């Protein structure tokens, strides 16, 4: 796709530090290096976000994740790893070609993902109502 930075890396129109490539995915270092070894897994087909991904495309992206994660762990001796995917600008997406971040974690690094706990705002009947609505859309 025109003007897509990841499509351009794929086409070798702009440089990227490619770690792995197959028929379906390209894996390269994220330029920002949020932590040392920060890597992206990107489907070769241009898809904006998870809502455009076919199940088999998703499987292609995630089936390579253990191999890449293990190589990063061996290389950098990281003590953990976040695997993150942002969909939509409200979720922090800035490049609108689907991608999964592999972010190696190190003791005392400064990267933080914090899940807020809103448990007090939802009792069991609230959760049951949410569930009913979601399940209706799953079955639609």
Q: How far apart are CA 5 and CA 26, in angstroms?
A: 13
Taking the least distance from each CB to ligand 5GP, the nearer of 114 and 124 is 114
Kindly write down the DSSP assignment for every residue of 56-95, as one continuous string: HHHHHHHHTHHHHHHHHHHHH--SEEEEE---SGGGT--S
Of all residues in the shown chain, the one whose CB is closest to Zn ion is: 4
Chain-centroid distance, C-alpha 11: 21
Q: Answer yes or no whether residue 98 interacts with ligand 5GP by CB under 6 A.
A: no
Whole-number CA gyration radius for the chain:
18
Contact residue for Zn ion among 7, 61, 69, 100 (CB under 5 A): 7
CA distance 9 to 11: 5
Look at residue 7 and give the partner it binds from Zn ion, ligand 5GP, none, a contact being a CB closer than 5 to 8 Å depending on partner kind.
Zn ion
Only one of the segments 18-26, 85-93, 95-103, 112-120 lies at the binding site for Zn ion (rule: CB under 5 A); that segment is: 95-103
Stretch that binds ligand 5GP, among 64-72, 93-101, 109-117, 126-134 (CB under 6 A): 93-101
Contact residue for ligand 5GP among 7, 16, 35, 98 (CB under 6 A):
16
**Binding segment toward ligand 5GP, per CB under 6 A, in 55-63, 72-80, 90-98, 116-124:** 90-98
Q: How many residues does the chain have?
A: 140
93 binds ligand 5GP (CB under 6 A): yes
Residue 6, CA distances (Å) to 3, 15, 16, 32 in order: 9, 10, 9, 14
Taking the complex as a whole, the smallest distance from the CB of residue 101 to ligand 5GP amounts, in Å, to 6
Instruction: Say how far apart CA 44 and CA 71 lie, in whole Å.
Output: 21
For the annotated catalytic residues, the residue numbers are 99
């Amino acid at each position: 796709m025109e003007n897509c930075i990841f499509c351009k890396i794929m086409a070798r129109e702009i440089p990227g530090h490619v770690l792995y490539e197959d028929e379906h995915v390209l894996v390269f270092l994220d330029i920002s290096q949020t932590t040392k070894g920060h890597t992206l897994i990107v489907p070769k087909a241009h898809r904006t976000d998870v809502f455009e991904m076919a199940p088999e495309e998703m499987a292609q992206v995630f089936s390579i994740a253990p191999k890449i994660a293990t190589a990063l762990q061996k290389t950098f001796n990281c003590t953990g790893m976040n695997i993150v995917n942002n969909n939509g600008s409200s979720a922090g997406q800035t490049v609108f070609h689907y991608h999964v971040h592999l972010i190696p974690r190190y003791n005392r690094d400064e990267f933080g993902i914090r899940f807020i706990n809103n448990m007090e705002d939802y009792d069991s009947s609230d959760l049951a109502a949410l569930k009913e609505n979601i399940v209706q859309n799953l079955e639609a």
